[in-house]
Chains A and B, each alone.
Chain A
Amino acid sequence: MRPHSLASEGLRTHPSRDLLVLDGDFRGFPQRLGGYVVRALPGWEALRESVRTAAPSTIVLVRTGGVEAETQALRDLIRETPSVPVVAAVPFARATAAQVRALLDAGLAEIANADENATFPALTPALHQAHARPLKRRIEERMPVWVPEDARTLVRAAAETVVDGGGREVFAGIFGIYVRTVGARCADAGLPPPRRLVGWVRVLLALTLLEEAHRTVMNVAVCCGYTDNSSLKRAIENFTARPGAGSIREQTFAAAFDGFTAELVRLRHSGNRSRPGVRA
């Protein structure tokens, strides 16, 4: 008997995500399964080229034995395109702890145990875990210590939503609750309402993508669900409250995150005033 679990209750489908693999690494994989579209690329150069303009919902899956040359190649790939999560499939039975540690230190989004016979469904939990992890890490690094754990969980869910191009319905769906209910939970946790929270996280995602020099502004706008350059620029200016602040490339993640934090501070103080008691 499996325990009752909210994860299984809240099982959700997601829009199609690209899964980039190296040709020959996963021969038996179907072209399309569980919401993933598998694209096999002929070599590392083609993989790097594809990742440069890939949507942040794309996941790279690489088979590796943990040898230094492969680890270095992964390290370079992640350094060049940090917004796209990379998952390493490693046969744990043959790997050492030091090799796995080196792979994780390279910046992998996730690691999966996979020998030559590993099936695609067996690897999908690792792909789910890796989804939106680069954005979650960026946000978590700068999140103030006083932000409560429930709020962090909600922000992580918002990151998952935004990376998939979803809105507040998808956001509420992650918890298996209505938009109105998730709105109440956001208010309790001192967060903006779901629409604004998702909007904020979308802007933060766009700014992380803009840090990658090889992406055009148009590519970033489309990846984040904006119609064009100007709507992306407008969104950033609206959320950061800096209209006409120069070129879109001059906007930084750090400055925008400070604006997000300032909004959390305002909500925290207004929340404390309106709710003097404490919810148990």
Chain B
Amino acid sequence: MPNARHRSRSELPPTPVELAYPLAVPDAAVLGAVILHEAPEAFALHLFRALRLVLAWAAGPDVSGAMFDGEDLDGWEHDVLCAGGIDEALWAPVAVIASEVARPAEVDPERLAHACLAVTDWALECDAHGTAILFAEAAAAVWPTNARIAWVVGKLHRERMHFGRAESWLRRAGRVAAWTGDWELQAQAVNSLGNLKVHLGDFAGGRELLLKAARVAKRKRLRERLAKALHDLFVVSTYAGRFDEAEGHARDAFSAYGPDHPDLINLAFDVSHFWKQQGQFARALAVLKALSGRFPDADRQLRVLASTARAAGVMGQSDTFHRAWSDAWKLIDAGTADHLRAAASLELGLGALSLGLWEHAEHALTTARDAAQERRQGDTLAEAEASLNHLSRRHALGKSLHLRTALRVRDLAAELARSLNAQAPAPAGANARDN
């Protein structure tokens, strides 16, 4: 631990309440019971036994030493090794666990923790989420100074909507990382904790944690971490209605990412959405055009196309609108992002309305209204109905709604667009951010 700032020789921070679970204060449920429901019937008991032995070993010899003397662990290891017809991705790590705990005095904690994580990988593949979390927790207990494993446990809990446990494990990860001098993981854990707070509606708490993550990343010159924290701060600021602050965070995140970073498209996507919501269609359009065809997933492809059509409509760019319109309907009709049918159609309809394309607008808005009714999306339904009313009035008046606002695009929008255009199309990292 060459980078640790503390002077204590203790391997863990002095926070016994936070670190008490799962070893010192047992849970209300029988440990590992869920495994018996999730694992293959013939191997479930071996897996159940493996988890309990690993956690017993992690609890220390004073608590569970005699347990290892009382069990026929060599016999169990033999049974595990002889078990047939089991997926090797499960059998192999359990065999490693059996061989390690059969000689409890010689256990290699890192090897044992990796075996537990391998079981977690298998369980995630098989949708055995309870088993996955238990073995990840076991890995964290066996290797308590590895903050990354604690962070993984927190993320798994969060994915399963166990927000209390997720918070606890993420906080633990942050504290252990600070104690062991793993600054990158500390920033990441605090960042994840901040995002969790925001998800739970605590904007002030989440923002404070994200600022802390950014401070840690800046102090330790972790540019990528800094960029991600600033990116998240940008999103939180938009939620909280701090629009100037949001723009500042977006600008800082852009400079921290640098023009070549693969995650830049995620920032560009979020910033363009923000500008569109703010009514800054010229800036949004410049970025949206550069984002065209950059996302591999249908969800974000459709969002980009619908937003492009909307912004192009407002800006009076008919060619751009028609291109986006055709591509968006191809995706909508294919049904690959059906949950966006109402929202995307609404955007398309609003774009058409701005260009005075009444028939286009009516088709899109009617689709939006019907889809919103079907999916009970109240906001979209209200907006679609209001726009249809507006359309019927404008249609009667025969007036055009062309808006040809020529706004200057010589700021962040231009820089984002230029950077995206200079990048190779559809980079591998164009998926969701990992915070």
Contacts and interface: CB of A to CB of B under 8 A. Distances in A.
Contacts, number: 177
Q: How many residues of B sit at the interface, in one of the four size bands?
A: 35 or more
A228 interface: no
B28 A133 contact: yes
Contacts of B59: 5, 7-8, 125
A137 B190 CA distance: 32
Interface of A: 1-11, 92-93, 95-98, 100-101, 104, 108-111, 113-115, 117-119, 121-125, 128-129, 131, 133, 136-137, 139-140, 145, 147-150, 152-154, 156-157, 160, 174-177, 182, 185, 189, 276-278, 280
Interface string B1-27: 000000000111000111111011111
Nearest to B69: A122
Q: Which of A6, A96, A147 has most B Cβ within 10 Å?
A: A6
Contact of A101 (B27, B36, B67, B174): B36
B276 to A, nearest CB: 31
Contacts of B25: 153, 156-157, 160, 174
Contacts of B143: 3
A278 B30 contact: no
B17 A93 contact: no
Contacts of A176: 16
Contact of B144 (A5, A93, A157): A5
B225 to A, nearest CB: 15
A88 B165 CA distance: 29
B71 interface: yes
B199 to A, nearest CB: 14
A277 B64 CA distance: 41
B422 interface: no
B144 A3 contact: yes
Contact of A97 (B18, B36, B204, B205): B36
A140 B26 CA distance: 12
A147 B11 CA distance: 29
Given A104-B33, A125-B59, A175-B20, 11 more contacts: A6-B19, A7-B60, A8-B61, A93-B72, A97-B36, A125-B64, A129-B26, A139-B28, A148-B167, A154-B17, A280-B174
Contact of B21 (A10, A115, A153, A276): A153
B37 interface: yes
Nearest to B53: A113
Contacts of A123: 70
B45 A100 contact: yes
Contact of A278 (B49, B64, B204): B204
Interface string B141-182: 111110000000000000000001101100100100000000
Interface string B36-63: 1101011011001100100011111111
Contacts of A175: 16-17, 20, 24
Interface in B115-159: 141-145
B66 A124 contact: yes
Given A3-B144, A10-B16, A278-B209, A128 B76 contact: no
B109 A128 contact: no
B205 to A, nearest CB: 3
A124 B16 CA distance: 23
Given A5-B58, A148-B168, A175-B24, A129 B31 contact: yes
Given A150-B18, A175-B20, A114 B36 contact: no
B197 interface: yes
Contacts of A150: 17-18, 168
Given A149-B164, A185-B17, A278-B205, A5 B26 contact: no
Contacts of A185: 17
14 contacts: A4-B10, A6-B24, A8-B62, A92-B49, A95-B45, A100-B36, A104-B30, A115-B72, A121-B70, A128-B26, A128-B63, A133-B26, A160-B25, A280-B174
Contact of A280 (B17, B20, B171): B171
